[in-house]
Each structure stands twice: as structure tokens, then as C-alpha cells.
Amino acid sequence: MDLWTWEREAWADGAAVVCGVDEAGAGPLAGPVYAAAVILPREVDLPGLNDSKKLTAKRREALYDLITSQAAAYHVAFVSAEEIDQMDILNARMLAMNRAIEGLNQKPDLCLIDGNRDHGSTVSITERHVCLVGGDGKSASIAAASILAKVSRDRYIMEVLDRQYPQYQFARHKGYGTKLHYACLNEYGPCPAHRKTFLKKWEAQR
């Protein structure tokens, strides 16, 4: 599997600085949605690099350290649960990705965006970009971004939310709508970290 094909094409087309962008945590009932933007040195060797969903948590952690030490530039950003409720998750995803790109210390010539969406009803990706469906398994830059976004979100859930609200056992379900999470919601109701707009079905069934 060659993860550099898209980057090589972009470089050949004159885009010297190519950035991969991905987000993590669109689906959970609680916590922020995270995004990362990563510019890698050309064909840098990152052994085991792949879509973050195909890696173990331990492997993701090891690659996180490797990517952050080797990247030419990277930035991780998030959009809070409160902001998600104010817009919607699609706009929030676009906003998180824009924040990640804007946080880079160098301007990309082209962004490779994971997925098939580059705009919501109010927020669009503003830099020059290409959308790649399944990009985290096709592009080294997007795979790197997917790992930084996923690890950053998991760390926040486990180190901040789980300690702040231990009764919800966030470390075990990462905010996703598991049986355990719904059982905690039934017992304690929502906390400030929950996305209220994601709980409408649960509210209706109470």
C-alpha cells in the first residue's frame, strides 16, 4: 500500500506544501470534535502509518510521538460540545478542520481532506483542497492527521472528562452511544460535556 500517491501528484502539479486534514469524534454523544492538519516532509519514513481506526491505541500513541517529532508542521484543534449544539456536527467538523489548518505555522498550497464533504450550511473549507473518500487509508498526510486527531481526543476524554465526571465512565466508552453510556445517562442525566442535540432520541424515550 503506497500512501504517497496523492502527495506525489500534488507535488508534480506544483503544490510544494501539501497538508493532510482529518477529524475525530463526530459520532459521540459527548465531548468535542477534534481535527488535525499535518504537513509531512516528503516521503518521510513513519513505520506502521495507517488509518487510525486500523491501529491499536498503543500503536497510535507511538505514531503520535513519531509524527509530532517528524512533521514539518502540525496543529490540532477542536470544536466544543456547546459549539456543536449551536451549529450542527457537519458545520462543527468543517470549523474544526479550518481551525487546524489556520493553526499551522506555514500555509499549505493544497489540503487533502478526508471524506466527501468540504462545507456545511454555514462553514466551508477555505484553503485550496481536494476531498478524498477513505483518505486516511490512501494518503500519508491524512493518515498522520487522523492519528493526531484521534489520540488528542482520546487523551482529552480520558484525562479531562473522565476525571471531571467520573460517574459517566467516559474512559470506557469515549463518549460514544454504548449501552454503558446510556445506562449512565439514565442514572445521572446529561452533564455539561454532553451534546444536547445528540440526545433527542434518548430524551424522547425517557
pTM over 0.85, yes/no = yes
The dihedral through the CA atoms of 39, 83, 153, 195 has a sign that is negative
Statement: residue 177 has pLDDT above 90: yes
Helix/strand/coil for 171: helix
Which amino acid type is present at position 26?
A
Which amino acid type is present at position 67?
I
Residue 97 pLDDT: 98
Residue 12 pLDDT: 97
Cα atoms in the Cβ-side hemisphere of radius 13 Å centred on 22: 33
Statement: residue 1 has pLDDT above 80: no
- With cell 467520573, the residue in question is 166
DSSP notation for 14-68: T--SEEEEEEE-SS-SBS-EEEEEEEPPTT---TT---GGGS-HHHHHHHHHHHH
pLDDT tens by residue, 30-89: 999 999 999 999 999 999 998 888 999 999 999 999 999 999 999 999 999 999 999 999
